[in-house]
Structure 1
Amino acid sequence: MMHNEERKCVSIVETSKGNTPEINLNLLEKILKNYQDHPVAIISVFGEHRTGKSFLLNNLCQYLLSNQSPYWYQENDRSLAKLFHWRAGTKPDTNEIHITDQPFMLKNNKGKNIAVFLMDTQGSFDKAINAKQCSIIFAWSTLLSSLQIYNLPGLIRENDLQHLGIFCHTQTLLENNKEEIPSRREPRIQVITNFSKNNSNIDFDTITF
């Protein structure tokens, strides 16, 4: 497995004249074309801004770099991978949608090599984007991903479910109006709550392909 220094995150979103986020399909194809002989899985994280999405992805990256060792997380004896940029504070950090330019090569339960990419998204209800743009970012990331992780702070609230319903409706509308989106199986959406520096011992073994 390659070292993390050989990977980087790239933005795959460009904004149209109407300020609508659109996927740069040429760039995405360039990233994926070298792995067309392998099954590809994309793990995406979406959620409110400043709730630890990039931090969660760096923990997942650390887990994959540790060859999925059950001892990958040693609270006082590790240097967390920094593939996805993040910082403390209240100001938004991630813009639009970013994906790793090279995958993690893993084996599924049948022994077949899988090219796994990680995807980060701009936080929902970020002051820099409106509700429509937020819904479209969720829609694109969900359509592209094999697994969409909906990261929430604390307990699941009623408005969280309402927002998820609106986001999924936008995804359906987008899928029905984009002929270039290939036919594929539906992505899974998994909810993770209260992921933080002090509560980051999630069992990544539950993620399967």
Structure 2
Amino acid sequence: MKNILTLVIAATLLSTSAVTAGQISFDKAWKEQKFSLFSKNKYSFKGASLGVQSDGSVSMAYRAIPESLWGSRSATWRWSVDQSVPATDLSKKGGDDRNLSLYVVFLPEADAQKLKGAGIRKLLSSDAARVLVYIWGGSHGRGKQLSSPYLGSRGKNVILRSAGTGSHSESVNLASDYKRAFGGTAGAVVGLAVSADSDDTNSAVRGAISNLSLN
């Protein structure tokens, strides 16, 4: 009986692990956050993929992460760009357009519980929040980390692709990127956001992100 119980418990743990480490669907859980009344992107939510159109505009699509995924320490996804903004300096506020950005929002466990279900504006304004922004755009080399001109010491831009078109798969180590950016150990992954930004250069983006997974 003891051996049977051990096997049952082990199987349960493996099953739980399989559930908590998986793909993030682009469904109704995602909400758009506009930054101005007259400027917003167009998003196409298709389950496994998210299409983005940006025409001289900027906005963000955001979703909270289930508590079962708060301990995620890596992420994978595929993204593509068919039309690109010009290369810009992403370290400066204004003129820092980019094709696509994936925001990963972290909070200490205690703060994550207090802000559970909060919107992206409230999360990003929390002093305890830390944000890694993985970017396709700009004129910087792959792997370069830049302080966010909007989030100050609470946010880091991590450049994965410079401005241009194409299609690529990405795999990032959230734990090591967090340590490099902020020091210490990453907190709970409480939110994800995807944005495109073309308003400063009055240009256009046609892109998509798919197969997004947290592990």
TM-score (norm: length of structure 1): 0.32
- Largest Rg, 1 or 2: 2
Q: Which has the higher strand share?
A: 2
Q: Greater helix percent: which structure?
A: 1
User: Higher RCO, 1 or 2 (CA under 8 Å, sep at least 6)?
Assistant: 2
